Amino acid sequence: MKTVGSAIEEPELETDAQQKSLRSFAVMWGGQAVSLFGSRLVRFAVIWWITLATGSATVLATASIMFLLPQIIVGPFAGSYVDRWNRKRVMMVSDTLIAATIGILALLFYLNIQEVWHIYLIMLVSSFLGSFHFPAMQASTTLMVPEEHYSRIGGINQSLQGVINVLAPPIGAVLYVLFPLESILAIDIVTAFFAVVSVAAIHIPQPEAAPDSEKQSPLSDMADGLRFLKGWTGALLLIVFAMILNLIATPAFSLLPLLVINYFGGDATTLAFMQSAFALGMVTGGAILGIWGGTENRVKTGMGALAIQGAALFFVGTLPSDFVEIAFLLLLVAGFMNPIFNGSVIAIMQATIPPEMQGRVFSLIISGATAMTPIGLAFAGPVADAFGVPIWFIISGLVTASLSVSAFFVPSVMNLEKIAKERASKTQTEDENQDEDVSQDSAIEAKTLPD
């Protein structure tokens, strides 16, 4: 099998018409949708197996940490390579190798020699490969979809996540009862095949590479991404917000299985319904954003949605243990707001980051936003074991709502998109003036040369 590096060749330069091919995007999107469904179904089954086998919040938190570490450590460098390599091949090779790792885990379960550390290792490898796949997918979308549809595509993507999260948990719960786990894992391998074939069947455009891009090292590329963000105060503040939110909020959702068992006294069906309630909200919110497109100021749209989501999470943590139906409703509200926030922010980034920079900048943003999550999980596991999971929902809700409201009073955040576009326009003008000066100098030299 080819490695990620050897399978990826020189980028192909594309025409503007091909870059905006919505038909090709729809094919790619469909294959990824099938693959995401398989992965989500398998993830539910594996997490439920860990929950039943260990009953430990610390083990669940550690599993999440294993998944996040490659995104933090490898992510910034992966984005540099994504900007250099053929993005189509990046996605194909990543999906293929991820399917292979799931196949190994299925074999371990079939032989009945699985250990929790095996799952940790598979999560590490899969996340490493995903660190290449995600920025390649996001950067490709920018070149295949017109800018005026970015928010709508963001909403549709979030709605897809919601549909998958509505269907996968209950189906996963049923399959967990009916079939051994190795059979369920095989589903992810089959659905990954659809993703690889769909990408192989289409033309995915490449941005024009900078003239000196091949001379730069990945560290230089990462430095370019950091310099790009350094002059963008609003984006840096958003990353700081995301780091704090991931420190506090992500552990709450990672520990949801234990909230179901230990606090609400539920089972796999209860967990499936809770996750499906959140997902149903995502479907609705994503569909509305896909139709509506958000307000003119996409930052206000996103932050307003995030504030409401924070309030919903706070109330989940304060509910009495016999109010499980109200928990379903609150998670529905939180899920509804999730795609409106994520879709709006992703659209801003896609519209304001130059295509040839998107791989490395997206990776830096993802790494920065994810960096605090393992720390939060490392604290959340022992704290939840000692004091219960609800306290983490209360804290995460308060912090999420407070940060979101505070963003409305920070001009550099509220005007983030406007400032970025003014900055890009200024840079373009300076480049044009510089080119004009060079042309004039060349003309003067030509006139002064002796006959």
Encode pLDDT of 343-356 as tens digits.
787 777 777 777 77
In a domain, 306, yes or no: yes
Question: What integer pLDDT is reported at residue 12 of this predicted model?
Answer: 45
Q: Calculate mean pLDDT across residues 146-165.
A: 74
Q: What is the CATH number of the domain that holds 318?
A: 1.20.1250.20
**In three state form, how does the secondary structure of 273-286 look?**
HHHHHHHHHHHHHH
Question: What integer pLDDT is reported at residue 371 of this predicted model?
Answer: 72
Question: What integer pLDDT is reported at residue 419 of this predicted model?
Answer: 72
In a domain, 8, yes or no: no
Does the structure show a pLDDT above 70 at 1?
Answer: no
Question: What integer pLDDT is reported at residue 373 of this predicted model?
Answer: 74
User: Among the residues of 3-56, which ranges form H helices?
Assistant: 16-19, 22-54
- Are the C-beta atoms of residues 396 and 248 closer than 8 Å to each other? yes
- Ordered DSSP codes for 153-189: HHHHHHHHHHHHHHHHHHHHHHHHHHS-HHHHHHHHH
For the chain, percent of residues with pLDDT exceeding 70: 83
In a domain, 9, yes or no: no
Does the structure show a pLDDT above 80 at 257?
Answer: yes
**Which of 1-5, 163-167, 340-344 has maximum average pLDDT?**
340-344
Domain of residue 357: give its range. 16-206+218-428
C-alpha distance from residue 448 to each of 181, 402, 438 (Å): 81, 67, 16
Q: Residue 210: which pLDDT band, with cuts at 50, 70 and 90? A: low
Question: What integer pLDDT is reported at residue 130 of this predicted model?
Answer: 83
In a domain, 100, yes or no: yes
Question: What integer pLDDT is reported at residue 333 of this predicted model?
Answer: 93
Helix (H, G, I), strand (E, B) or coil at 6: coil
Question: What integer pLDDT is reported at residue 14 of this predicted model?
Answer: 44
In a domain, 11, yes or no: no
Does the structure show a pLDDT above 50 at 4?
Answer: no
Does the structure show a pLDDT above 60 at 9?
Answer: no
Closest CA to 353 of 227, 445, 202: 227
Question: What integer pLDDT is reported at residue 107 of this predicted model?
Answer: 94
- Total domain count, the chain: 1
**Which of 157-161, 176-180, 306-310 has maximum average pLDDT?**
306-310
- Alpha-carbon span 54 to 120, nearest angstrom: 14
258 compared with 357, residue with greater pLDDT: 258
Per the rule left: phi > 0, alpha: psi between -120 and 50, beta: everything else, 131 is alpha
User: How far is CA 30 from its chain centroid?
Assistant: 18
In a domain, 62, yes or no: yes
Does the structure show a pLDDT above 50 at 207?
Answer: yes
User: How far is CA 176 from its chain centroid?
Assistant: 27
Which uninterrupted H or E stretch holds 378?
helix 373-387
Q: Calculate mean pLDDT across residues 44-67.
A: 81
In a domain, 440, yes or no: no
70 compared with 215, residue with greater pLDDT: 70
Residues in the chain: 451
